Amino acid sequence: MHSVVNANIINSEPYLEVDGISYLSGNIKISGAKNSVLVLMAASLLTEEKLVINNVPELTDIAVMSNLLQEIGVSLYREANKLYLSSNSIKITELPYNLVHALRASFVCIGPLLARKGEVKIPMPGGCRIGARPIEEHIKGLKAMGAEVIIKDGVVCAQIISQRKRLQGAHIKLNCQSVGATETLIMAATLAEGETIIENAAQEPEIQDLANLLISMGAQIFGAGSSKIKIIGKQKLNGSIYSAIPDRIEAGTFLIAAAITRSELSLSPVIPAHLGAIIEKLEECGCSIDIKENAIKITPGKELKSVDISTSPFPGFPTDLQAPFMALMATAKGTSTIIENVFENRMQHVSELKRMGSSIHLSGNTALIEGVKELIPSCLSAGDLRSSAAIVLASISTKGRSIIKGLHHLDRGYENFEEKLNKVGCNIVRKGSKIYQSETMQKGLEDFTDLNQEVA
Ligand code: EPZ
């Protein structure tokens, strides 16, 4: 048994103590999709009526988005996995820098706020750890719909200049299949005058989820999930009660957890069609996959062989699973090539996996991984959200104790990550508490008394 714990190196920052090697068995419940819910929350800005979103995970990203919406006047109440939102009285259309900076995804509020209020000021979200992440596709699309957009002192200031105070339908062709830009423009177009066509649209399941919510609010949207989307604008949208899709990235991460520990595991609920690329690669490396309606079971072979992956927009291999998959390849037989095509700086897990004895040669965004018999436990630090999951998975496959810091990344995007893994046989202890701000979401109950039965 290796042991690398040195209490002196651990300061007051929360950390995980992970005791490998765990063989997993049982069923993991998959949470609602973080990247869907964040945008569904922004869509509440499109209506004066109330919106109830079910299947909302408890995550810091969701809490930050909640804080941001509350700052601009949205009433919000959370009970278990249900979120109640009312954008009846938006006070301001200028988003606070600190919250936009904390959550890049909040930039999609530009579309609904502009469409509903006629103006919006939103700080440039800037780059982040995984890349520069420009926003010109959002802005170009809004300009095509008749908005005047200028960037002044790092703030994007957009307003509708037409006398009728509505955005105008437009024919937009995106230069890249941006998920965020497609979401911004779909939301803006639902309240625009006339028809909008978005070509080269992103096809991710989260886009379909957004379109389904908007359709339930009375919007007319055709073709979401394909590369050409048509939206016929409406004067108003109504409220709705809607359930977010299960998180395909969380599901993919747990499939990899099963594979890396060579354990049999079941997951539900999932939408199998959202997991096509990861299922294909897991089968190729020697796992068998059994799908029954909304449940999936993985049975890995004793020895897994290396396979190559190259990330690309949906339905390709998701960039958000690249880091966890690399952890798996570090323990597979043979040599694997992993190419990251979506973001320019998404290889932060490489140094940590190397610290665990893996053999990885990185050249730009291409990693050559030579599988080793076993990884060794270590003291590790997460550099971004998906890297944090990757190093937890690598740790559970080792013989011994690892220490993992940087948990604010993990808590952004994985609901009860270590609890879920412990339930199926892992031995992970969190020292220190989660950074989660649910208290602020309990404030607005009085605004939802007419939905009392739902709230009770
Ligand atoms: C979404 O980010 C997700 N975030 C990301 O998940 C995910 O990795 C990404 O889509 C790709 O699937 C949310 O949904 C909140 P993009 P987004 O705009 O919308 C370039 C996670 O770990 N681009 O589709 O910001 C861009 O630089 C996160 O949960 C432009 O060039 O991604 C990138 O290379 C991280 N110009 C590519 O497109 C633009 O104007 C894809 O970005 C916009 C984007």
How confident is the model over 343-402, as pLDDT tens digits? 999 999 999 999 999 999 999 999 999 999 999 999 999 899 999 999 999 999 999 999
Residue 424's SS3 state is coil
Query: 3-state SS of the chain: helix, strand, coil percent to 5?
Result: 35, 25, 35
Query: Residue 131's pLDDT is what?
Result: 83
Cα separations in angstroms, 293 against 68, 209, 257, 269, 303? 37, 19, 21, 9, 28
Helix axes 110-117, 179-190, angle to 10 degrees: 20
Q: Please tell me the distance between residue 285's alpha carbon and the centre of ligand 1 in angstroms.
A: 28
Number of the ligand 1 atom closest to the C-alpha atom of 318: 12
Q: Would you kindly state where each structural domain of the chain is located, as residue ranges?
A: 7-31+246-425, 34-245+438-455
The atom of ligand 1 lying closest to the CA of 105 is 15
CATH 3.65.10.10: does it fit domain 34-245+438-455? yes
Ligand 1 pocket: which of 65, 176, 227, 410 to mutate (most atoms <8 Å of CB)? 176
Whether 128 is catalytic: yes
- Pairing assessment for the beta strands 265-268 and 287-292 based on DSSP bridges: unpaired
> Per the residue annotation, which of 128, 157, 285, 379 is the catalytic one?
128
pLDDT of residue 447: 58
Check whether the bond before 315 is cis (ω within 30° of 0): yes
Measured in angstroms, how far is the CA atom of residue 127 from the centroid of ligand 1?
11
Residue-level pLDDT at 15: 96
The CA 117 to ligand 1 mean position distance, Å, reads 26
Q: Which CATH code of 3.30.1360.120, 3.55.50.30, 3.40.630.30, 3.65.10.10 fits the domain covering 7-31+246-425?
A: 3.65.10.10
pLDDT tens sequence for the chain (456 residues): 343 334 344 457 899 999 998 789 999 999 999 999 999 999 999 999 999 999 999 999 999 999 999 999 999 999 999 999 999 999 888 999 998 988 999 999 999 999 999 999 999 986 678 888 889 999 999 999 999 999 999 999 999 987 778 999 999 999 999 999 999 999 999 999 999 999 999 999 999 999 999 999 999 999 999 999 999 999 999 999 999 999 999 999 999 999 999 999 999 999 999 999 999 999 999 999 999 999 999 999 999 999 999 999 999 999 999 999 999 999 999 999 999 999 999 999 999 999 999 999 999 999 999 999 999 999 999 899 999 999 999 999 999 999 999 999 999 999 999 999 999 999 999 999 876 544 444 455 455 555 544 332
pLDDT on residue 437: 47
Pocket probe mutation, ligand 1, options 198, 274, 342, max atoms within 8 Å of Cβ: 342
The residue nearest atom 10 of ligand 1, judged by CA position, is: 179
Do the Cβ atoms of 246 and 281 come closer than 8 Å? Answer: no
Burial of 184 (0-12, 13-18, 19+ CB in 10 A): buried
CA of 55 to the centre of ligand 1 (A): 23
What's the gap in Å between 179 CA and the centre of ligand 1?
6
Model pLDDT, residue 183 = 98
**Residue minimizing CA distance to atom 28 of ligand 1:** 320
Atom number in ligand 1 closest to CA 140? 40
pTM for this prediction: 0.94
User: Would you list the DSSP string of 9-24?
Assistant: G--SS-EEEEE-----
Residues with CB under 6 A from ligand 1: 35, 38, 105, 131, 133-138, 176, 178-181, 202, 206, 319-320, 342-343, 385-386, 413
Output the CA 316–ligand 1 centroid distance in Å. Answer: 14
Q: How far is the CA of 180 from the centre of ligand 1 (A)?
A: 6
In what helix (H) or strand (E) does residue 137 lie, and over which residues does it extend? Answer: helix 136-144
Which atom from ligand 1 is nearest to the alpha carbon of 139? 40
Atom of ligand 1 nearest to the CA of 36: 14
Structure tokens at 43: 């869509």
Which mutation among 103, 178, 345, 409 tests ligand 1's pocket best, with the greatest number of atoms within 8 A of CB?
178
Instruction: Return the residue whose CA atom lies nearest to atom 14 of ligand 1.
Output: 35
Q: How far is the CA of 178 from the centre of ligand 1 (A)?
A: 6
Distance (Å, whole) CA 36 – CA 46: 16
- Residue nearest ligand 1's atom 4 by CA: 35
Q: Are 287 and 299 in contact (CB under 8 A)?
A: yes
Same CATH topology for 7-31+246-425 and 34-245+438-455: the answer is yes
Q: Specify the ligand 1 atom closest to the Cα of 138.
A: 40
